[in-house]
């Protein structure tokens, strides 16, 4: 494992450094952050200084502190959502592949219908009906996103399902769950892991967009997308505060993408 890390290309190392930095910020937010998440400490939109590393936001809260807590809230939310989406999407995908027949048809048509909607519009409509709360956000995005996971895991499982060892397990009389857990899942792991990175980026951007539209995490919780929205007015005065959270979102997605690229390269077995 260590050897593999040392051999990784520069791009992947940069990606890992970015992701690690973000995770550290998220985990140790209360320790690193000099002020409280919601406490007003200075004037509106103060510039960078030793007192406020990133300046202050639209009501005088320390932006650095908000960034740390924002990392914690946004990344945790995106991670939970992606995890849930994989749990639902890959189980359904495996079931469709192993069971085949009408189960497959029914699930696939259902997924086709959800995918016929533009994702953002679907999410907006659900949020308008249910109201925006953290559980609603997680479930809505997880279900919308699980359709993509379903497509991939079904395709991957279809390839594995025709293998002799799956046939052997079937003849032994193993049940559906056993086959999915012990035969299909281990072999489907590499493509699914790469997909996890990509889906995480997508979910993370999606949550950030919803928060930016004011429909994601609600204030006073710190959240990067929401922080861009709150400070957006500053840009017309030549104050670049909103670019900091927006840049952090961009940086993390680029970082994850760099790792995923390396991973795809590794698992495709291509070597230079």
Partner 1 sequence: MKNVLILIAKRFAASLLTVFIVSVIIFIGVELLPGDVAETVLGQSATPETVEAFRKELKLDLEPHVRYGAWLKDFVNGDFGNSLANGRPVSELIGWRLTNTLFLALITSIIAIPLAICLGMLAAFYRNSFFDKLISVTTLSFISFPEFFIAYILIAVFSVQLGIFPSLAIIDKHMGFGAKLFAVLLPSLTLTCVVTAHMMRQTRAAIINVLASAYIEMAEIKGINRLRIIVHHAFPNSLSPVINVIAVNIAYLIVGVVIVEVVFVYPGLGQLLVDSVAKRDLPVVQASGLIFSFVFIFLNLAADVLSMLSNPKLRQSKI
- Considering CB under 8 A, how many residues would be counted as binding partner 1? 40
Scan residues 249-268 and list those touching partner 1 (CB under 8 A).
Answer: 249-250, 253-254, 257
> Closer to partner 1 at the Cβ: 180 or 249?
249
Phi-psi category of 52—alpha, beta or left, where left has phi over 0 and alpha has psi -120 to 50? beta
Residue from 56, 137, 242, 263 that binds partner 1 (CB under 8 A)?
242
Q: Does 201 bind partner 1 (CB under 8 A)?
A: yes
Residue from 5, 87, 106, 125 that binds partner 1 (CB under 8 A)?
125
The helix/strand/coil state of 61 is strand
Q: Does 194 bind partner 1 (CB under 8 A)?
A: no
| CA–CA gap between residue 66 and residue 122 (Å, rounded) | 30
Name 56's bridge partners.
Answer: 62
Q: Does 135 bind partner 1 (CB under 8 A)?
A: no
> Closer to partner 1 at the Cβ: 125 or 155?
125
Q: Are 73 and 65 in contact (CB under 8 A)?
A: no
Q: How far is the CB of 1 from partner 1 (least distance, A)?
A: 27
Q: Are 224 and 74 in contact (CB under 8 A)?
A: yes
Tokens at 61, concatenated = 């809260």
Site string for partner 1, 3-32 (x = CB under 8 A): ------------------------------
| CA–CA gap between residue 162 and residue 98 (Å, rounded) | 9
Phi, psi at 91, each rounded to 5°: -65, -45
**How many C-beta atoms surround the C-beta of residue 223 within 10 A?**
28
Q: Does 33 bind partner 1 (CB under 8 A)?
A: no
Residues engaged in binding partner 1 (CB under 8 A): 112-113, 116-121, 124-131, 201, 205, 208-209, 212-215, 225, 228, 232, 235-236, 238, 240, 242-243, 246-247, 249-250, 253-254, 257
């Amino acid at each position: 494992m260590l050897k593999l890390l040392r051999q990784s290309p520069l791009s992947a190392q940069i990606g890992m450094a970015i992701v690690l930095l973000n995770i550290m910020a998220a985990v140790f937010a209360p320790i690193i952050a000099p002020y409280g998440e919601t406490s007003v400490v200075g004037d509106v939109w103060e510039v960078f200084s030793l007192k406020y590393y990133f300046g202050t936001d639209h009501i005088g809260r320390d932006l650095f502190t908000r960034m740390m807590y924002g990392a914690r809230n946004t990344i945790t939310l995106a991670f939970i959502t992606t995890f849930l989406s994989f749990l639902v999407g890959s189980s359904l995908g495996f079931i469709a592949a192993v069971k085949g027949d009408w189960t497959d048809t029914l699930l696939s048509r259902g997924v086709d219908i959800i995918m016929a909607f533009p994702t953002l519009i679907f999410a907006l409509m659900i949020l308008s009906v249910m109201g925006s709360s953290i559980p609603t956000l997680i479930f809505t995005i997880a279900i919308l996103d699980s359709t993509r996971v379903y497509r991939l895991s079904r395709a991957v499982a279809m390839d594995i399902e025709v293998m002799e060892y799956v046939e052997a397990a079937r003849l032994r009389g193993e049940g559906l769950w056993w086959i999915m857990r012990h035969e299909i899942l281990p072999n489907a792991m590499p493509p699914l892991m790469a997909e996890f990175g990509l889906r995480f980026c997508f979910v993370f951007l999606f949550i950030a967009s919803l928060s930016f539209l004011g429909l994601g995490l609600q204030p006073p919780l710190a959240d990067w997308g929401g922080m861009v929205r709150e400070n957006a007015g500053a840009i017309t005065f030549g104050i670049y505060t909103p670019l900091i959270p927006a840049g952090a979102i961009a940086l993390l997605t680029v970082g994850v993408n760099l790792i995923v690229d390396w991973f795809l390269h590794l698992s495709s077995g291509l070597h230079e």
